[in-house]
Amino acid sequence: MIETIFHWHAFVEIYKEGWGSILIDPFISGNPKTDVSLDQILEKKVKAIVLTHWHSDHLWDTPEIAKKTWCLVIATFELAQYLQNIQWLQLVHPMHIGGEYNFGDFSVKFVPAVHGWGIADLSTPYVTFPAGVIVRIDWKNIYHAGDTGLTYDMKLLGEYDNIDIAFLPIWWNFTMGIDDAIIATKFIKPKIVVPIHYSTWQVIDADPVEFARKVMLENISVPKVLNPWQSVILK
Ligand code: NI
Ligand code: MN
Segment 123-136, tens digit of pLDDT: 777 889 999 999 99
Using the mean position of ligand 2's atoms as its centre, give its distance from the Cα of residue 27 in Å: 10
pLDDT of residue 120: 64
Q: What is the mean pLDDT of residues 177-186?
A: 98
Using the mean position of ligand 2's atoms as its centre, give its distance from the Cα of residue 8 in Å: 11
pLDDT tens for 71-94 read 999 999 999 999 999 999 999 999
From CA 94, how far away is CA 80, in angstroms rounded?
Answer: 5
Q: What is the mean pLDDT of residues 51-65?
A: 95
Ligand nearest to the CA of 200: 2
From CA 214, how far away is CA 37, in angstroms rounded?
Answer: 33
Confidence of residue 205 (pLDDT cuts 50, 70, 90): confident
Using the mean position of ligand 1's atoms as its centre, give its distance from the Cα of residue 116 in Å: 6
Q: Give the chain's domain count.
A: 1
Ligand nearest to the CA of 130: 1
Q: Which domain does 177 fall in, by range?
A: 2-234
Ligand nearest to the CA of 53: 1
Q: Which residues pair with 95 in a beta bridge?
A: 76
Using the mean position of ligand 2's atoms as its centre, give its distance from the Cα of residue 19 in Å: 29
Using the mean position of ligand 2's atoms as its centre, give its distance from the Cα of residue 162 in Å: 25
The answer to whether residue 186 scores a pLDDT higher than 90 is yes
The answer, as to whether pTM is greater than 0.95, is yes
Using the mean position of ligand 2's atoms as its centre, give its distance from the Cα of residue 210 in Å: 21
From CA 228, how far away is CA 225, in angstroms rounded?
Answer: 10
From CA 229, how far away is CA 87, in angstroms rounded?
Answer: 30
Confidence of residue 169 (pLDDT cuts 50, 70, 90): very high
Using the mean position of ligand 1's atoms as its centre, give its distance from the Cα of residue 124 in Å: 18
Using the mean position of ligand 2's atoms as its centre, give its distance from the Cα of residue 225 in Å: 18
pLDDT of residue 122: 67
| Cβ atoms < 10 Å from Cβ of 189 | 18
Q: What is the CATH number of the domain that holds 63?
A: 3.60.15.10
Ligand nearest to the CA of 170: 2
Q: What is the mean pLDDT of residues 155-175?
A: 97
Using the mean position of ligand 1's atoms as its centre, give its distance from the Cα of residue 1 in Å: 30
Using the mean position of ligand 2's atoms as its centre, give its distance from the Cα of residue 57 in Å: 5
Plot region of 199 (φ>0 → left; ψ -120 to 50 → alpha; else → beta): left
Q: Which residues contact 116 (CB under 8 A, 6 or more apart)?
A: 53, 55, 130, 147
Using the mean position of ligand 2's atoms as its centre, give its distance from the Cα of residue 67 in Å: 23
pLDDT of residue 126: 84
